[in-house]
């Protein structure tokens, strides 16, 4: 019998071989489902409300805003929004798919990235188990960066770019023997230009999706420059045509990033913004041992080092250089860990397969073969199937909800503000600001939000963080902002309300001091365990003011709740009984709002 016939027909396989095939498929299925788990992270990104709101307003108005919106401190300031396509995708996605549909779409996007890695691994002869075991580590490194946010499109476009590079230089050789056997130069320097021809279009889309295109363009350019150097070394003068071709492709991709509503202004903004430190923003800090992303990154770096140290395949110096550069950025800035993980997912599996094959071959030498009893086969298969079911259950639970926790966001404070018909200018910490503007706009404008340098001048940023954290953490400040003074945002911006996140001790202390200063210039009108809301005493105590808050409607407590509402968790606007401005007694009589404004229903 022809061995190939036996391989093609499961009925002709030995029992041991059939068991192996069943177990192998179950293990692959388990790895695939396990990879989906980290990518299903259902944590609300603080900027999600803003992304959807800005896109919805663009759709409604039919015009892209060119200056900052929903803010009273940066009116008329240019707004360079580098996330337009991503925000449109989020807005249309929630319109058509709903919350659960968007969570499922996010997982599908992540699994599509892993599938692209799988295609690259398969072309290089990597077994599915080795590939998906690697992808599981990659997925855990991506997990913290996989809420619903514009960066997801950067990750997808980066994966497409890496697959195109893999296919374009597929003839570059993978084993040491490719070079030691003196193969024809044409085999080692062949370029499939079809895969590079579409890259400018990709960068047009990427530049309009997210500013991560800058990292992608850097990776792409370094790879092409490295390949050009290799061509020159291998073929000398014969390399000038492909080298010129690679230079043209790189230049075309760079020029393609100008095809945005902002033209070169986007690049000028990027240079200015990225050239200034951002110590106040967590994602721009270095990973530390108390951060959940730290140990997955350490393990991935260790695996990468081991892969290149012990592989039997050719070590691609260009890829090693790019990995080292991006790895350096990953250990310097949290947000670059995702790009390092993507590179590892595309470039490590062939080397890990090489090591695994060698170890398996050594382990098999001299070991007796043994067949499993029916009970053992059934038990192993049942255990694997059970593990798959548990992973699928966990995945289903994550896809069922996008909770907004009352212990993290000012859900109850915003409900109270909506019920009191609060209006005016609001100072609120940047992590809550886009939630606040989505809940209360257009009645309320914010002083500063997560758009950061895309639409706020540095002096506004400095005043906000002076108020929020003072000098308690490392800061980057403009020399024109003067000394650190948390009260300046109250004195310069003159807000109507201040919503304080109580975990920021500096902001709490600043408002407590403001409440004692000048006979009590600011009054606490709302408090729970998460938030405080302060208003100018002269306004909230004035019965003739539209922002008058009767004593009966003020709420000060330390109430804490671990419950959550489904995103977007916007407040329900209730109509309060009218309050006569002429008398506090009438106000007391007509006040109908409940003392505890928790929307449990």
Quote the radius of gyration of the chain (alpha carbons, Å): 29
Ordered DSSP codes for 405-453: ETTTS-HHHHHHHHHTT--EEEEE-HHHHHHHHHHHTTTEEES--TTGG
Read off the pLDDT of each residue in 192-221 and give the average, rounded to a whole number: 97
User: Is residue 581's pLDDT more than 50?
Assistant: no
User: Is residue 7's pLDDT more than 90?
Assistant: no
Read off the pLDDT of each residue in 233-247 and give the average, rounded to a whole number: 88
User: Is residue 577's pLDDT more than 50?
Assistant: no
pLDDT tens for 308-334 read 999 999 899 999 999 999 999 999 999
User: Is residue 17's pLDDT more than 70?
Assistant: no
Q: What is the pLDDT of residue 426?
A: 98
Read off the pLDDT of each residue in 474-492 and give the average, rounded to a whole number: 91
User: Is residue 228's pLDDT more than 70?
Assistant: yes
Q: Tell me the C-alpha distance between 382 and 287, whole Å.
A: 40
User: Is residue 178's pLDDT more than 60?
Assistant: no
Read off the pLDDT of each residue in 270-291 and give the average, rounded to a whole number: 86
**Token output for 215:** 């990292």
Q: What is the pLDDT of residue 15?
A: 61
For residues 524 and 283, which has the higher predicted lDDT (pLDDT)? Answer: 524
Beta pairing, strands 531-536 & 497-501? antiparallel
User: Is residue 206's pLDDT more than 80?
Assistant: yes
User: DSSP assignment, residue 2?
Assistant: -
* Predicted structure pTM score: 0.89
The pLDDT confidence band at residue 580, using thresholds 50, 70 and 90, is very low
The pLDDT confidence band at residue 173, using thresholds 50, 70 and 90, is low
DSSP collapsed to 3 states, 127-182: CHHHHHHHHHHHHHHHHHHCCCCCHHHHHHHHHHHHHHHHHHCHHHCCECHHHHCC
Sheet holding 444-446, edge to edge: 444-446, 424-428, 497-501, 531-536, 522-527, 555-556
Read off the pLDDT of each residue in 362-391 and give the average, rounded to a whole number: 77
Q: What is the pLDDT of residue 327?
A: 97
Q: What is the pLDDT of residue 417?
A: 96
The pLDDT confidence band at residue 431, using thresholds 50, 70 and 90, is very high
Q: What is the pLDDT of residue 593?
A: 33
Percent of the chain with pLDDT over 70: 88
Lowest-pLDDT range of 89-103, 489-503, 562-576: 562-576
User: Is residue 181's pLDDT more than 50?
Assistant: no
The residues spanned by each domain of the chain are 103-367, 406-590
Q: Tell me the C-alpha distance between 98 and 52, whole Å.
A: 12
Q: What is the pLDDT of residue 190?
A: 81
Read off the pLDDT of each residue in 341-353 and give the average, rounded to a whole number: 97
Q: What is the pLDDT of residue 85?
A: 97
514 Cβ neighbours under 8 A, 6+ residues apart:
487, 490, 521, 522, 534
Q: What is the pLDDT of residue 460?
A: 95
**Token output for 301:** 């770096």
User: Is residue 172's pLDDT more than 80?
Assistant: no
Lowest-pLDDT range of 7-16, 411-420, 444-453, 455-464: 7-16
Which candidate, 224, 83, 237, 204, places its Cα nearest to that of 152? 83
Residue 316 half-sphere exposure, CB side, CA atoms within 13 Å?
A: 20
Read off the pLDDT of each residue in 109-132 and give the average, rounded to a whole number: 96
For residues 580 and 571, which has the higher predicted lDDT (pLDDT)? Answer: 571
Burial-class residue 329 by CB neighbours within 10 Å (0-12, 13-18, 19+).
middle
Q: Tell me the C-alpha distance between 388 and 395, whole Å.
A: 10
Phi/psi for 150 (5° steps) reads -60, -25
Distances (CA, A) of 5 to 21, 305, 565: 16, 41, 59
Read off the pLDDT of each residue in 232-237 and give the average, rounded to a whole number: 84
Q: What average pLDDT is seen over the chain?
A: 88
């Amino acid at each position: 019998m022809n061995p190939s016939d036996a391989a093609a027909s499961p009925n002709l396989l030995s029992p041991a071989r059939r068991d192996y095939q069943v177990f192998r498929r179950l293990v692959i299925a388990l790895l695939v489902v396990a990879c989906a788990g980290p990518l299903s992270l259902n944590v609300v990104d603080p900027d999600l409300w803003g992304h959807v709101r800005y896109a919805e307003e663009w759709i409604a108005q039919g015009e892209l805003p060119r200056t900052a919106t929903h803010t009273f401190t940066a009116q008329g300031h240019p707004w360079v929004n580098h996330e337009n396509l991503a925000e449109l995708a989020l807005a249309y996605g929630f319109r058509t798919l709903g919350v659960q549909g968007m969570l499922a779409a996010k997982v599908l996007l992540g699994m599509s990235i892993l599938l692209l890695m799988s295609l690259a691994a398969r072309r290089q002869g990597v077994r599915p188990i080795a590939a998906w075991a690697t992808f599981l580590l990659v997925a855990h490194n991506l997990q913290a960066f996989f809420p619903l946010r514009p960066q997801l499109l950067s990750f997808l476009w980066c994966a497409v770019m890496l697959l195109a590079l893999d296919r374009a230089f597929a003839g570059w050789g993978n084993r040491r023997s490719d070079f030691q056997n003196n193969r024809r130069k044409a085999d080692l320097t062949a370029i499939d230009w079809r895969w590079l021809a579409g890259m400018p279009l990709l960068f047009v889309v990427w530049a309009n999706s997210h500013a991560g295109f800058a990292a992608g363009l850097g990776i792409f350019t370094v790879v092409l420059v490295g390949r050009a150097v290799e061509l020159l070394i291998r073929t000398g003068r014969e390399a000038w045509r492909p080298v010129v071709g690679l230079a043209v492709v790189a230049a075309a991709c760079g020029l393609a990033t100008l095809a945005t509503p902002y033209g070169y202004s986007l690049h000028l903004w990027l240079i200015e913004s990225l050239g200034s430190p951002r110590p106040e923003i967590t994602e721009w800090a270095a990973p530390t041992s108390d951060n959940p992303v730290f140990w997955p990154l350490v393990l991935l770096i260790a695996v990468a080092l081991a892969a290149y140290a012990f592989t039997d395949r050719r070590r691609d110096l260009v890829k090693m250089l790019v990995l080292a550069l991006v790895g350096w950025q990953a250990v310097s800035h949290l947000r670059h860990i995702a790009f390092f993980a993507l590179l590892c997912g595309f470039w490590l599996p062939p080397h890990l397969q090489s090591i695994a094959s060698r170890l398996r071959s050594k382990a098999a030498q001299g070991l007796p073969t043994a067949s499993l009893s029916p009970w053992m086969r059934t038990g192993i298969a049942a255990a694997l199937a059970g593990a798959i079911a548990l992973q699928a259950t966990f995945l289903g639970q994550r896809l069922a909800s996008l909770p907004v926790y009352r212990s993290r966001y000012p859900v109850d404070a915003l409900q109270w503000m909506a019920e009191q018909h609060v209006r005016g200018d609001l100072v609120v910490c940047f992590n809550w600001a886009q939630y606040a503007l989505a809940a209360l706009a257009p009645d309320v404008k914010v002083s500063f939000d997560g758009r950061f340098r895309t639409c706020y001048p540095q002096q506004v940023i400095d005043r906000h963080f002076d108020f929020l954290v003072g000098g308690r953490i490392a800061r980057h400040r403009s020399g024109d902002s003067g000394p650190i003074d948390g009260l300046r945002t109250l004195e310069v911006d003159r807000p109507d309300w201040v919503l304080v996140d109580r975990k920021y001790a500096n902001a709490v202390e600043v408002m407590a001091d403001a409440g004692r200063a000048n006979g009590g210039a600011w009054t606490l009108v709302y408090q729970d365990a998460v938030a405080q809301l302060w208003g100018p005493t002269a306004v909230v105590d004035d019965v003739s003011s539209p922002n008058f808050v009767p004593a009966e409607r003020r709420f000060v407590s330390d109430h804490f709740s671990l419950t959550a509402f489904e995103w977007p968790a916007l407040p329900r606007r209730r109509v309060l009984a009218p309050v006569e401005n002429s008398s506090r007694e009438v106000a007391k009589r007509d006040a109908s709002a409940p003392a505890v404004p928790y929307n449990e229903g």
